[in-house]
Amino acid sequence: MENQVVDAVTLGQSVMAHDMSLWGLFMQAGLVVKSVMIGLLLASVWVWAIVIEKVLRLRKLRAQAHTFEEAFWSGGSLEDLYDRIADQPRDPMSAIFVSAMREWRRSNAKGVHGDTMRARLQQRLEKSMEITLGREMDRVERYMTFLASVGSTAPFVGLFGTVWGIMVSFQSIAASKNTSLAVVAPGIAEALFATAMGLVAAIPAVVAYNKISSDLNRYSNRLEAFVDEFSSILSRQLDDTRD
């Protein structure tokens, strides 16, 4: 009975000797587990930076697209609109418009005669807008791959830290030949903290990736619709010049 009391007191004192706070768990972790935690923390910070940047940028792009569409469909001259924004398009939709108008003016300056030349001009206009659309969307979608990578790999990186920490804990048991909870509990707690860090990085990354991807798809569809509409307008202009 006395031995049991002594063991309980010793166990309690040993557990209290370890700082079980989050900072304490980090400081007491081994080098490998610390490296995993630091990497996951940096990934989490970068994820939130990307998410904030994407949310703010998409909001700005939607507002700029709305402003441009109002000017485009106002009934004013497209030539005047081009002259105003040609030097510095402010958003992808404006850039698409400028690229098509630049090709339109260049071709008209040389003269467009015959159905074959009109068909080739129509193809060049559509190709120019498609290339600009792809280039602009590549810029908008920058770093989205990082979100997907963190969302898919962070839990496994955290799990690696957990497995490593548990292995070290069992090595401590073997070395000390003491199977008490006081020996293994701190190491297991540090290891599980690595898994928690992986989830903290992965969950926001997955949620943000799905939401932002959906918003980007809607924005891309909006640009593609503008390309189709503007291509139809230019096609009618070509038909008028033939008449």
Query: Domain extents for the chain?
Result: 22-242
pLDDT for the residue numbered 109: 59
Share of the chain above pLDDT 70, in %: 76
- The yes-or-no verdict on residue 32 having pLDDT over 80 is no
pLDDT at 14: 45
By 3-state DSSP, what share of the chain in percent is helix, strand and coil, each rounded to 5? 90, 0, 10
Q: What is the pLDDT of residue 186?
A: 63
Rounded distance between C-alpha atoms, residue 4 and residue 133, angstroms? 75
Looking at residues 69-80, what average pLDDT do you find? 88
**Range 213-227 average pLDDT:** 95
87/94: higher pLDDT: 94
Share of the chain above pLDDT 90, in %: 42
pLDDT of residue 208: 95
User: What is the average pLDDT across 65-82?
Assistant: 90
* pLDDT score at 20: 54
Q: Which of 38-42, 49-53, 113-117, 143-147 has the lowest mean pLDDT?
A: 113-117
